[in-house]
Structure 1
């Protein structure tokens, strides 16, 4: 009887740090109290859904959003390199970036229903704890539930 209990304790203690951020994005944000955000298009920073997302992320992390200048490809490349924590922009469902970055749920969408352009936050692939935080914050702002 002791063996299964011991095994269960070992397994549950190993799950404490899941999900993980190999680049330690969440840990760095927690220690510096800052996360960096770039807007792929300058006008997105004033959108209510975007400001709502940033406020929700600040609330969840206890960190302050620091915006950096730039646009489009430059910011997405910086995101991939780990020099940026979040890039917010308009993405189509067939965006060439969808496999290179982790796209959060849409904050808003426009265009045809079968091919909308959605405002989304993008995070660095693999930073799963940070990605989960951004996804949950996006859903909280839009009032959508997590899909099964």
Structure 2
């Protein structure tokens, strides 16, 4: 009778580690107090939703954003390689990168059609704790609650 209780306690104690970041993105951000953000366009740093998202992520993580600019392909490759924590830009809903990186929800409504261009964040695939943090903040901004 006592073995199921021990098993339940072991399983419950493991829940704190979920979701996991296999490459430890969230832990690294917490330790170094900085996360790297790549911008597809220079003007995005002044975009209202982008500024609100970064401010909310800084509050939630206790880290500051370190900015860099680059071309889309290069930034997404850096993201995939783990040299960048977040990329912000306008992406098509059916972007060919959708299997290579994790896209957050759109920060603001996009154009009409089957393949709209949406302003959103991209994160490294598999870094689930970090992805959840960014997705939660993105949803708050999209609803207007994070401002």
| TM-score in terms of structure 1 length | 0.93
Distance 2:55 2:2 in 1: 48
Q: Determine if contact 2:38/2:87 at 8 Å carries over to the other structure.
A: yes
Aligned to 1:99: 99
Q: Determine if contact 2:89/2:121 at 8 Å carries over to the other structure.
A: yes
Q: 1:111: Cα distance to partner?
A: 2.1
Distance 2:113 2:107 in 1: 15
Q: Determine if contact 1:38/1:71 at 8 Å carries over to the other structure.
A: no
Q: 1:113: Cα distance to partner?
A: 4.3
Aligned to 1:29: 29
Q: Determine if contact 2:41/2:69 at 8 Å carries over to the other structure.
A: no
Structure 2 residue runs of 5 or longer lacking an equivalent are none
Aligned to 2:5: 5
Aligned to 1:137: 137
Aligned to 2:75: 75
Q: Does 1:14 align with 2:14?
A: yes
Which 4+ stretches in 1 moved above 6 angstroms? none
Q: Determine if contact 1:26/1:129 at 8 Å carries over to the other structure.
A: yes
Deviations along 1:37-86, one digit per CA (max 9) or x if unpaired, are 01112221111001000001001100001101312111111100000000
CA RMSD of superposed structures (Å): 1.2
Q: Does 1:111 align with 2:107?
A: no
Distance 2:61 2:13 in 1: 23
Structure 1 residue runs of 5 or longer lacking an equivalent are none
Aligned to 2:59: 59
The aligned length equals 144
| TM-score in terms of structure 2 length | 0.93
